[in-house]
Chain A
Amino acid sequence: MTLIQPIRGAPQLERLRPATPRKGPPRALRRAMGPLLLVALWQAASMTGVLPSEVLAAPSTVIGSATELARTGELQDAILVSLRRVIFGLAIGGGIGVILAITAGLTRLGEDLVDAPMQMIRTVPNVALIPLLIIWLGIGEAPKIALIALATAFPLYINVYAGIRGVDQTLVEAARTLGLSRAAMVRHVILPGALPNALVGFRYALGVAWLALVFGEQINATAGIGYLMATAREFFQTDVIVVCLVVYALLGLAVDFIVRLLERSLLAWRPSFIGT
């Protein structure tokens, strides 16, 4: 038998407060504060003479040089040349990487023939191939594009291949019961399933594309951002060098933005992307 417990007086209540929106500047502004502070510090160091201009030009000088370079059109030309190299290199290298990954991913024969050589060549540092590329392709555009192509093929290969092999087997089975042909299976199930990984590879490939570009443009270039930098080095123009570095950084940022947009539309089916 259960005994009815006597009431022990009114319990102490406390009011729960709903979360209030955080005060202060908007997020985007706050994120911009860090870099801006750094530039301000740099400017102060330059103005007080702590940072001599031979070591590093002041931000104000850099902005001045950038506008000057833009006025003469040198900067735009250099950017266009460099962008073209990256796009061509990425198209060729990425295309090869994706085609090889699909071959290796979809068939056992392809895996046996393609995967082992790819994994071996992957470990060779691309930069070490520059001398060979010069002997094979001369000193024109070809070795620069080839270097970018080489650098970008591998990240795409590895990620697309892993993506294809990682496709959910239960979905493949379900598709079989729906009577999908092999081609339809690849198109509707395997490639979409590999897409998240493929985009990781793409993002990585873009990163190394800029890296390869910097190396490629240090060798016998007559145009491009690397060339601009090389000539600036000859004349100790630290301001121009900084302009080029900033351009590289901004291009990298822009490209990352493009990949984000791609992910947002191509991977809209992922729950993590709802409402963004």
Chain B
Amino acid sequence: MASLVHRHLEAAPVPPAVHIRGLNRSFDGRRVIEGLDLTITAGEFVVLLGASGCGKSTLLRILGDLDRDFDGEVDVPARRAVAFQAPRLMPWKPVWRNVVLGLPGRPDRALAERALAEVGLSHRTDVWPKVLSGGEAQRASLARALVRDPELLLLDEPFAALDALTRIKAQALVAELWQRHRCAVLLVTHDVEEAALLADRVLVMKDGVIAHEHRIDLPRPRDVADPDIARLRGRFLDWLGVHH
């Protein structure tokens, strides 16, 4: 039972990648996050679900150091990366230069090429970002995040703007990249199926706190057609207050 032993070892205390205690954030007096506690362990894939406006994106922005108007304790790794819903590539830099933008030293083309190969964009190394299709641009954005070798990867609805077919491929790619890089991931989404497919742990945010939490131990890669996935999907919808 080698796998059981392995399981057991993994269950030993794992260092945290994110540690939040008593986080508050309000906009003009309106409390969006209220006394939130959250720990994400190193290498864990956490999906944060929530209805629009529940504060899930605000939480991600705080973790990405884009929002500093909060109080509470927030510890995140120094090496972290963000991929946004829109790819946000600098349109005036060729794809490969976008990938290595912000890395110290001279732009390392070989490094960019390796990262682009990993997301299947080798043939797009030299083009301008505006020439890319939506899915390609999103993959370039992923390459840009992963090339920094992050210990925490923050994904803000990265698939929301993609068409259904591209989204399925992109989700599979993220699952695969995560298994290779083993960084902690916090993915914000309102897609319950996506949560069931990708997460080690699903969090549902409501009224400024984590209202529900569920650990998913299903093997990977997961299949949408799996009845377990369908059951999880239903449960998450219930938690989100969507009657189906």
- Which A residues form the contact surface with B (CB < 8 A)? 170-171, 173-180, 184, 188-189, 192-193, 195, 267-271, 274
Contacts and interface: CB of A to CB of B under 8 A. Distances in A.
Given A267-B92, A269-B128, A271-B128, 6 more contacts: A171-B88, A174-B82, A177-B80, A192-B92, A192-B93, A270-B91
Contact of A269 (B81, B92, B144): B92
Interface in B62-109: 64-66, 80-82, 84, 86, 88, 90-93, 101-102
Nearest to A268: B128
A178 B131 contact: no
A237 B31 CA distance: 81
Contact of A170 (B88, B128, B130): B88
Listed residue (A174, A189, A269) with the most chain B CB atoms within 10 angstroms of its CB:
A174
B92 A193 contact: yes
B81 A177 contact: yes
Contact of B130 (A171, A174, A184, A271): A271
Classify chain B: how many residues form its interface, as a range.
Answer: 20 to 34
30 contacts: A170-B86, A171-B88, A171-B90, A173-B88, A174-B82, A174-B84, A174-B88, A175-B101, A176-B65, A177-B64, A177-B65, A177-B66, A177-B80, A177-B81, A177-B82, A178-B102, A178-B144, A179-B148, A180-B101, A184-B102, A188-B90, A188-B101, A189-B90, A195-B92, A268-B128, A269-B91, A269-B129, A269-B130, A271-B130, A274-B131
A170 B92 CA distance: 15
Interface of B: 64-66, 80-82, 84, 86, 88, 90-93, 101-102, 128-131, 144, 148
Contact of B102 (A171, A179, A192, A270): A179
B146 to A, nearest CB: 12
Contacts of B84: 170, 174
A197 to B, nearest CB: 13
**A-B residue pairs, 3 tightest by C-beta:** A178-B102, A174-B88, A192-B92
Contacts, number: 56
Contact of B90 (A173, A192, A271, A274): A192
Contacts of B93: 188, 192, 269
A170 B91 CA distance: 12
A189 B80 CA distance: 20
Contacts of B101: 175, 178, 180, 188
Contact of A176 (B66, B86, B92, B130): B66
Nearest to B85: A170
Contacts of B144: 178
Listed residue (B90, B92, B101, B129) with the most chain A CB atoms within 10 angstroms of its CB:
B92
A193 B90 CA distance: 9
Contacts of B80: 177
A180 B102 contact: yes
Contacts of A270: 91, 130
A273 B64 CA distance: 35
A193 B64 CA distance: 23
Listed residue (B82, B90, B93, B144) with the most chain A CB atoms within 10 angstroms of its CB:
B90
A249 to B, nearest CB: 34
